[in-house]
Amino acid sequence: MKLIVIGSGGREHSIIRKLKENPEVEVIYVLPGNAGMRDLAECVNIKATDIEGITEFARTHEIDYAVVTPDDPLALGAVDALNAVGIPCFGPKKNAAIIEASKSFAKDLMRRYGIPTASYEVFSEMEAALAYIDTCPIPVVIKADGLALGKGVVIAKTREEARNAVCSMMQDKAFGDAGSTVVIEEFLEGPEVSVLSFTDGRTLVPMVSSMDHKRAMDNDEGANTGGMGTIAPNPFYTPEIAEECMNTIFLPTIRAMAAEGREFRGCLYFSLMLTKDGPKVIEYNCRFGDPETQVVLPLLKSDLLTIMKETTDGTLKPEDVVFADGAACCVIMASQGYPGKYEKGYPIHVEESVKDRIIYAGAALKDGELVTNGGRVLGVIGLGNTLKEAIQDAYQNTEKVSFANAFFRRDIGKKAL
Ligand code: AMP
Ligand code: GLY
């Protein structure tokens, strides 16, 4: 079989590594990919948002199956476009990807179908949003409605901060059109859990739970990033909570989407907060998480391609999704300065013994040598029977990796122990 994978980050590298375990896979093209994946896949210089370029490539290369993972091509309708030229695809169609692409859509869906989430109001007029902020409880959370690279969320501890956030999104257009509508919502407290799931629109099978670390510095300080590390499983997510989430959140969500004529197939990712009033949805993502995927897939014992095709065909079987009992940890090594300005182009050194534990997010080839080419450069994976072992393993492995200007958090998973 010939596959294409759309995207370029660590999530895609993890997916490709797992897909390659299937002996029927002859070749994987990754559009555009990064040089760190070149042993497993052929990188093709077509952007993930170039929907026409992607479909043209897939058609002319007689691709058998496509995997679309980043949010923007999904929101742009990459799956619909590939289906239209006869290529089956992993991922939701555009009308279902809206569950991530519009926060107000997601919030209204949850309100209408009684799915627990923070209470909220939606505003498309700045005056009304500012008036609301004069009286609402503080802290309060301000969210740009559209896709904003994970940066469109402000937790305001004062009214002043809340007003500034609204002005920056609605007046100064800090996130472009994504912020012309804002969601203002109740501030929730409790441990956060990421649960990715496979679904064919009717059956939903959760993957092992995980925990992201979004802030740049230890102790959850510093700026918000795309994620500085993950662990799986998440110990706050007990079997009792898992059952409650299945009944009050997961199944109601896919049923709601189906009832709206927006059947969701692919990976539906639930970002949850375990509040004292029970689990609540922080947000939905219409795709695998990054870097959650880097810890979830190493624990998947089953064949990924088989599961993906079942979600596409509407034949998902829970018994085909089996996870190992162990634990995994991913420590992201980033370029000094990320998520702000950083330098790139520095050679990456990885000892042979840990080669299989490295997931590349931002690497390029320069004179035949792998060099840094992004804020998040790579993820170092640790595995173990317990979380403690997995975390230790990951940090030991980081000692076998070096590049100039590298930094990483020293406390990934600490909260979980
Ligand atoms: P999001 O991009 O929606 O996942 O939000 C980014 C982060 O902001 C989340 O991981 C939470 O830590 C935090 N956050 C989002 N919504 C809320 C909320 N209603 N209450 C408290 N924290 C929130
Ligand atoms: N790890 C957060 C995300 O993928 O959105």
Predicted pLDDT at 237: 98
Looking at the fold, whether 196 and 160 belong to one and the same domain comes out as no
**pLDDT at residue 150, rounded to an integer:** 66
The alpha carbon of 209 and the centre of ligand 1 are apart by a number of angstroms equal to 17
Task: Say whether both 90 and 151 belong to one domain.
Answer: no
How many structural domains does the chain have? 4
For ligand 2, atom 4, name the residue with the nearest CA.
289
Residue 7 is assigned to a structural domain of this protein: yes
Q: Is there a domain that residue 208 lies in?
A: yes
Report the CATH number that the domain containing residue 156 is assigned in CATH: 3.30.1490.20
**Low pLDDT (below 50) residues in the chain:** none
Say which ligand is closest to the CA of 212.
2
Backbone angles phi and psi of 131, in degrees to 5: -65, -40
Considering the domain boundaries, does residue 166 fall inside one? yes
Q: Give the pLDDT of residue 302.
A: 98
Angstrom distance (rounded) from CA 195 to CA 369? 37
Q: Are residues 300 and 339 in the same domain?
A: no
In terms of domains, do 204 and 302 share one? yes
* Ligand 1: lining residues by beta carbon, under 6 Å: 118, 141, 150, 153, 155, 185-188, 192, 214, 271, 282-283
Residue ID of nearest Cα to ligand 1 atom 4: 283
Asked if residue 6 is part of any domain, the answer here is yes
Q: Are residues 124 and 164 in the same domain?
A: yes
* Shared domain check, 300 and 203: yes
Instruction: Tell me the C-alpha distance between 123 and 118, whole Å.
Output: 16
Centre of ligand 1 to C-alpha 282, Å, is 6
Domain that holds residue 174: 119-186
Residue burial 329-342, b: 16+ Cβ < 10 Å; e: rest: bbbbbbbeebbeeb
Distance 290 CA to ligand 2 centre (A): 5
Q: What pLDDT was estimated at residue 348?
A: 98
**Rg for the chain (alpha carbons), in Å?**
21
| CATH code of 266's domain | 3.30.470.20
Q: What is the CATH number of the domain that holds 335?
A: 3.90.600.10
Atom of ligand 1 nearest to the CA of 103: 3
Query: Of 94, 127, 151, which closes a domain?
Result: 94
Q: Which atom of ligand 2 is nearest to the CA of 150?
A: 5
Pocket test for ligand 2, best of 194, 267, 297, 376 (most atoms within 8 A of CB): 194
Whether ligand 2 lies within 6 angstroms of the CB of 150 is answered as: yes
Same-domain status, 289 and 332:
no
Q: Looking at residue 66, what is its pLDDT? A: 98
Q: What is the dihedral of CA 188, 190, 194, 199, to 10 degrees?
A: -70
Q: For the segment 314-351, what is each residue's pLDDT rounded down to a tens digit? A: 999 999 999 999 999 999 999 999 999 999 999 999 99
CA–CA distance from 107 to each of 90, 115, 295, 303 (Å)?
A: 25, 9, 28, 34
Residue 132 belongs to some domain of the structure:
yes
Do 7 and 84 sit in the same domain of this protein?
Answer: yes
Whether 200 and 252 map to the same domain: the answer is: yes
Cα–Cα distance, 286 to 68 (Å, whole number) = 10
Answer yes or no: do 265 and 175 share one domain: no
Q: What is the pTM of this model?
A: 0.95
Ligand 2 atom index nearest CA of 291 = 1
Asked which of 281, 299, 320 is the last residue of a domain, the reply is 320
Task: Give how far the C-alpha of residue 369 lies from the chain's centroid of Cα atoms, to the nearest Å.
Answer: 29
Which of 269, 330, 376 most suits a substitution to test ligand 2, by most atoms within 8 Å of the C-beta? 269
> Domain check: are 254 and 331 in the same one?
no
In angstroms, the CA 85 to CA 383 distance is 41
85: tokens are: 């030229």
Which among 258, 289, 320 is the end of a domain? Answer: 320
Answer yes or no: is 414 within a domain: no
CB 287 within 8 A of CB 280: no
Q: What is the predicted pLDDT for the residue at 8?
A: 97
Pair 273, 332 in one domain: no
206 CB near ligand 2 (under 6 Å)? no
108 falls within a domain = no
CA of residue 212 to ligand 2 center, whole Å:
8
116 lines ligand 2 (CB under 6 A): no
Amino acid occupying residue 283: E
For 363-370, which contacts have Cβ atoms below 8 Å and span 24 or more sequence positions? 363/34, 363/35, 363/36, 364/34, 364/35, 365/35, 365/38, 370/35, 370/36
Does residue 144 form part of some domain? yes
For a substitution probing ligand 1, which of 161, 273, 285, 290 has the most ligand atoms within 8 Å of its CB? 273
